[in-house]
């Protein structure tokens, strides 16, 4: 009953939030004074990035619980959050260059934050590959759990990279007012709406992936029982 309720309500809430956020980004919020219309990608790029970190953190937590307590539920949660985190990270690495080209004059530079984000993406690509190519699902789950925990250590490095190294990437929401400071209340509200929409989307995708993995495991268990019988 609860699963059906979540499966029916969450997508509707997510769709509503996404429509409202898109309206705010493209209609409601004013252009930024220095960057102009291209700055609107900020309202997508930043929530996707934070959503990535949340998914990676959830993957690491579920991986720790799986190694400590065992249980297929923790493994399914880790696998699902990792896949959604990889999707979000891919979007970050796509929207970033689109924003960078008109502002920095180049699609890509080996900036500290960009490089460490690319490393995170590669780690979680490896996570998916380990699960797919391990000799058995049990081994794949354990190897991937260790990789997820190690990979999550890159998140605080990404977060602090603009402070630790010389970088052209802005320290978002900390720089001078008027550029990334979001001094206009409409900008602040639009960013909040975008965060809500992206977080709801992430929750929905993780939920659907967990349910899919649960059904997969149940089908596999039934198949093994049939073979034994």
Q: Per-residue pLDDT for the chain (229 aa), expressed as one digit of tens each?
A: 567 667 778 889 999 999 999 999 998 988 877 777 888 888 989 999 999 999 999 999 999 999 998 888 999 999 999 999 999 999 999 998 888 788 777 777 888 888 899 999 999 999 999 998 988 888 888 999 999 999 999 999 988 877 777 666 665 554 444 445 567 788 889 999 999 999 999 999 999 999 998 888 888 888 878 877 7
The span from the CA of 128 to the CA of 130, in Å, is 6
Q: How far is CA 83 from CA 110, 129, 155, in A?
A: 25, 11, 16
Spans of all domains in the chain:
39-228
For 32, list phi and psi in degrees, rounded to 5.
-70, 140
Q: What is the rounded end-to-end Cα distance, in angstroms, of the chain?
A: 31
Q: How far is CA 219 from CA 73, 211, 226, in A?
A: 15, 12, 11
The span from the CA of 149 to the CA of 186, in Å, is 38
| 29-37-14-172 Cα dihedral, nearest 10 degrees | -90
């Amino acid at each position: 009953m609860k699963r059906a309720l979540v499966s029916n309500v969450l997508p509707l809430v997510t769709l509503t939030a996404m429509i409202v956020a898109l309206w705010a980004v493209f209609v409601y919020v004013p252009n930024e004074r220095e960057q102009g219309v291209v700055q609107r990608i900020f309202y997508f790029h930043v929530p996707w990035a934070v959503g990535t970190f949340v998914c990676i953190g959830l993957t690491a937590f579920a991986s720790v619980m799986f190694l400590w307590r065992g249980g297929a539920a923790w493994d399914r949660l880790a696998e699902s959050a990792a896949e959604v985190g990889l999707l979000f990270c891919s979007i970050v690495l796509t929207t970033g260059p689109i924003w960078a080209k008109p502002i920095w004059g180049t699609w890509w530079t080996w900036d500290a934050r960009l490089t460490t984000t690319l490393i995170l993406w590669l780690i979680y690509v490896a996570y998916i590959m380990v699960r797919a190519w391990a000799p058995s699902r049990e081994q794949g789950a354990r190897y991937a759990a260790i990789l997820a925990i190690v990979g999550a250590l890159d998140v605080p490095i990404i977060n602090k990279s603009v402070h630790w190294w010389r970088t052209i990437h802005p320290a978002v929401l900390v720089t001078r007012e008027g550029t990334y400071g979001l001094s206009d209340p409409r900008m602040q509200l639009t960013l909040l709406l975008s965060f809500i929409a992206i977080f709801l989307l992430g929750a929905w995708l993780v939920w659907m992936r967990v349910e899919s993995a649960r059904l997969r495991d149940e089908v596999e268990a039934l198949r093994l029982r049939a073979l034994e019988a």
